[in-house]
Amino acid sequence: MTDDVLLCRDLPAGALAKLLAPWKLEVVTVPDQEPLPGSFWGDPEAGLIGDRLYVRPVTPVQSALHEACHYLCMDAERRATLHTDAGGGYDEENGVCYLQILLADALPGMGRERMLTDMDRWGYSFRLGSARAWFENDAEDARQWLRDHGLIDERDTPTGHLRQA
């Protein structure tokens, strides 16, 4: 972890909840001194239980959006029993990464550029060497996966729909 990533406390109040509202994913802010429910990676990484995304003020925004995108990208069957481990395969993980970059543009204070930088700072690993290189030159499969599941349209705009199958 690096101290150079944008944290949830750095966002305008309610911005993350407003962004995720179309998908009915509730953002629950947990005080710093309390355990973070549903965190697969442990504190301060975001957690998922059911239709709730758990964050702390010190949770990295990239972590919050990544876990939120897992919720959006998983099928309805997995979403119905979601607790801590989002699971998913290679194609879904790529879709999650791509979608979190797109959603960053709609989050005041974050934006695509900051998301790409924070993904690199946090340690995401892409075969082209950076999140930007992957997103711009090697992510057609992720884009198509998101389109095939109705999560983005032909202009790469998130649709506000959850993956169903």
Mean pLDDT by 10 residues, the chain (165 residues): 84 97 97 93 95 97 98 96 95 96 96 95 81 94 98 97 94
- Any bridge partners for residue 28, and if so which? 54
For the chain, the distance separating the N- and C-terminal CA atoms, rounded to the nearest angstrom, is 34
Tokens for 150, please give them. 């109705």
pLDDT the model gives residue 71: 98
pLDDT the model gives residue 129: 80
Tokens for 51, please give them. 């239709």
pTM for the model? 0.94
